[in-house]
Amino acid sequence: MNSLMMRKLRLLFAMAPLVGCGGSASTGGETAADAAATDAPVSVDAGGGDANPALTALPIGDGKYSTSPMSGYVYSCTRSFGGIGGASADGPWIDVDAGTFDFTAKIAVEGAVSWPSHAFAATLGGATRTITGNGLPDHTTGTFPIATTDPAYAYDQNPNSIAAQTVSWSLPATPTVATTPSCLDGGAIGILLTGAQLYDALDGEGRDALAHEVQDACQAHPDPSSTYHYHSVTTCIADPGTGHSALLGYARDGFGIYGVRGENGETLTNADLDACHGHTHAITWDGATVTLYHYHATYEFPYTVGCYAGTPISM
């Protein structure tokens, strides 16, 4: 087992959650009635009573976008995907027949590029939380564009480079749940405390981005705007401890994004969360204990936010 694989496994079980997988693409989204009876969590007991999916056979999430809030799906504003960008070929880590992929066998884009100009701050002022930064992460990234000599190039010829962005978000400090959830409109759905932005779990073809796209060792890459972004909660952010997961970022509606562990330290599945991939209970929020809605990451698609439970800010 190589050092990168060992690092992936160690971080996945000790820190943060994993994202997405891929299979056969769908030409359109499904409604709740289409598939509500078909999405049972796939998991194994990884020890200590926690239910974790087998990292060698993660369920594929291709085509799992819906026209209404639905557990296990991305409620996407996009109804038709144009197939722009993304991986050009399935890697050997994808088992098309089984509808799974082996995360431990997936390659990563080579390189360890540092970003000393990284900037990120989250500050409170009255009823507003102001997020500022330049979109560059506090960890190293792969080398982009992907070099023709990189083994990743055989599967993904991402031609984009990473560049600083202007991040200036004004989020509600104490967000509220909206009467009706809203769809994810592409681009950033949140930002992690690493300083880099979080996108939903789909690629440009409506497939599971993590399985198909070859990303770097932190499960991220740049898009045509040069925005470096994740499609899941990265393994390069720490979620220490054994109780409720730590706050790892903020969604565009102001609610917090937490790791895979629930109130009693148990690993959560989609069945523990609502259609937007969150729930409500007492959490520590800005130094106080409050009962508040929040999102969680899981080892199941869509891995983070499935729809906005609150009202997202405009971008």
Q: Per residue in 79-107, pLDDT tens?
A: 888 766 679 999 999 999 999 999 889 99
- Residue 192 near residue 259, CB atoms below 8 Å: no
For 37-76, the pLDDT digits (tens) are 333 333 222 233 344 557 889 899 999 999 999 999 999 9
* Mean of pLDDT values over 263-291: 96
SS3 of residue 7 by DSSP:
helix
The residue with greater pLDDT, 169 or 55, is 169
State the pTM of this model. 0.85
What would the two tokens of residue 3 be?
């050092």
What would the two tokens of residue 267 be?
């690993």
Q: What is the pLDDT of residue 164?
A: 98
* Mean of pLDDT values over 139-143: 98
How far is it between the farthest Cα atoms of the chain?
54
Q: What is the pLDDT of residue 33?
A: 35
Residue 208, amino acid: D
- Residue 103 near residue 56, CB atoms below 8 Å: yes
Residue 239 pLDDT exceeds 50: yes
- Residue 251 near residue 257, CB atoms below 8 Å: yes
